[in-house]
Structure 1
Amino acid sequence: MGLSRRSFLTAGGLLVVGAGATAAGVETGVLPGRSWAYSHLGIDGEDGTIPDVAPGRMVSGAFMSEARLGERCGWSIAYPPGERGNLPVVVVLHGRGNDHTSAFADLGLDRFLADAVRRGAEPFAIASVDGGETYWHARDNGEDAGSMVVDEFIPLLGGRGLETRRVGVLGWSMGGYGALLLASRLGPDRVFAVVAESPALWPRYEDTAPGAYDDEADFADAVVWGEQDRLSGIPVRIDCGESDPFYGYTRTYVDGFADDPAGGFQLGDHDVGYWRRMAPDQLRFLADSLASR
């Protein structure tokens, strides 16, 4: 016998949660009953499709990071077709379990960039770097992926001829949180726009995923809750799927802005299909922020 929508949902979530949903709950620290139900009901929205266009040039390399305690950090830079010198750059922060290749191999941001510029968007480069799984902030063992970005990766990009006095920042999941944290620390003199999609946000340390923070003091030091005013002067876009396990927390965080950020809440889950679907609007937002600065 088939199950109705009411059979799936209760006021607090699911009557039954499958193994896949439980695994996702372990990763995010939020039991994704809503996410599992929306997916099985087919109301997550369509998956985004990577444009069938030729990307511009991509260069890759690696460096040993002092800030990450000697870790080898791979990186890639995607240029738009017909690249110009001294391009602005958007730094991409990946999610947990990903690396610098995920922005291009999984999300297809190099192809989305090529398509955006072909349609008239202000050109810029996209640069991604390995940040490990420490949620882009300083940890008790001395590793600091955020400092790696600011003190090592951005200077590397400048050394390759990119304009780094002010950068854009984009991230998803763990990287979405990292993008908000990094932009709030750098401020409008260093960041021309920030995009956070499906940000891994928790209001309390007790709610966080294992390994996201060392302890309550670490959580307090790297908090973005109640710090929205530190993004004042920076164009902000935040997107989150309505069946994403972080949906409720993200909506509460967005409500804490004096002026509503761009973006919003759409049909979608915490997955690549949603992130691909949002990529064209997010890259256009970054390009428009560049054009108006």
Structure 2
Amino acid sequence: MLSRRGLLAGSALALLAGCSSSPSGPPPGPAAVPAPTGPSPLRDPVTVQRMRSAARGTDVDLVLITPEGVPSSGLPVCLALHGRGARARTFLELGVPAALTAAVRAGTPPFAVAAVDGDHYWVDVGSGDDPQRMLTDEVPGWLAGRDLRPASAVFGISMGGFGALRFARAHPDLKAVATASAALFVSWPDARSRKVFSGEDNWRAEEPLLHTAELRAAQLGVWCGESDPFLGADRKLVKAVSPAVSRFSPGAHKDEYWRGILPDVLKFVGQRLS
């Protein structure tokens, strides 16, 4: 079994959480292994398993990250939703395993991070591929099969921020919702330019900025770089919701910024999950 250092040392950093580039080398992390036949605790702090998602009509990676040296059985879970063109393994490239372990060793209550592959802003755009239904109907069973608790928090980067806020609307009992550089759209022409949504009605039904009354301020944390193209939209979100945490700091829509805020995000999530 590869060590955590071995897993991350060879990771290609070309695939960013908010871009559409493709990796040139093998995916980071361990090779995918079959799903367990019954509930069993995880044996390694990083595992990758290939799962069949009926909701999405395809196979997806399920990446599970737990703090090193902490028993995984019964840990609370935070979902991690990646950006457009990225994948679940992106959170390994961004250094979540080491950051999570460091956060727990610094006093943050332990929890697990679960990332899955998604697409088209993590919503149903009428193509027969429904990432939100996967998160709601399928992921809980996948977590239970690994002796983890149901997800009670969600963290999303870029497109994943859109998806995280959409998930929060449907699950008001979540204890923490965190977004980084959330890809939000202040108008239909802006959203239409992404060529993702099936039409204006589809966008209006899903756009978080049009449903801010359904978001709970006490559970929400918003991070965005001051050179990010979504800065204006994220400021609009903060003005409408007045989240528990809102931090705008130097940075762009790049992995360097997301790595830099990971400790704050993980601390925010862990404190609320406890």
Give SS of 2:235's match: helix
For residues 67 and 82 of structure 2, the distance between their equivalents in structure 1, rounded to whole angstroms, comes to 20
In the alignment, is the contact (CA less than 8 A) between 1:171 and 1:195 conserved in 2?
A: yes
For residues 115 and 275 of structure 1, the distance between their equivalents in structure 2, rounded to whole angstroms, comes to 16
Within a 5 Å distance, the mapping from 1:37-186 to structure 2 comes to: 57-69=45-57, 71-84=58-71, 85-105=73-93, 107-131=94-118, 133-164=119-150, 166-186=151-171
For residues 262 and 233 of structure 2, the distance between their equivalents in structure 1, rounded to whole angstroms, comes to 22
The corresponding residue for 1:235 is 219
In the alignment, is the contact (CA less than 8 A) between 2:156 and 2:179 conserved in 1?
A: yes
Deviation, structure 1 residue 233: 6.6
The corresponding residue for 1:225 is 209
Give SS of 1:128's match: strand
Give SS of 1:91's match: strand
Give SS of 1:252's match: helix
**Are 2:230 and 1:246 aligned?**
yes
In the alignment, is the contact (CA less than 8 A) between 2:178 and 2:221 conserved in 1?
A: yes
Code of the residue aligned with 2:103 in structure 1: it is A
Code of the residue aligned with 1:62 in structure 2: it is R
In the alignment, is the contact (CA less than 8 A) between 2:184 and 2:207 conserved in 1?
A: no
Looking at both structures, which has the greater relative contact order when contacts are Cα pairs under 8 Å and sequence separation is at least 6?
Answer: 1
Give SS of 2:51's match: strand
In the alignment, is the contact (CA less than 8 A) between 1:254 and 1:261 conserved in 2?
A: no
For residues 182 and 200 of structure 1, the distance between their equivalents in structure 2, rounded to whole angstroms, comes to 14
Deviation, structure 1 residue 234: 5.0
Name structure 2 gaps, 5 residues minimum: 1-18, 21-43
In the alignment, is the contact (CA less than 8 A) between 1:184 and 1:231 conserved in 2?
A: yes
Deviation, structure 1 residue 260: 3.6
Deviation, structure 1 residue 263: 2.7
Deviation, structure 1 residue 249: 1.2
**Deviations along 1:70-127, whole A, 9 cap, x unmatched?**
x11011101112222200011100000100100112x111110000011111000111
Worse-matched range after superposition: 222-231 or 171-180: 222-231
**Deviations along 1:18-72, whole A, 9 cap, x unmatched?**
xxxxxxxxx79xxxxxxxxxxxxxxxxxxxxxxxxxxx61111111211112x11
Name structure 1 gaps, 5 residues minimum: 1-26, 29-55
**Deviations along 1:118-173, whole A, 9 cap, x unmatched?**
11110001111011x31101121221111111111222112211111x51100100
| Alignment TM-score, normalising by the size of structure 1 | 0.75
Deviation, structure 1 residue 245: 0.3
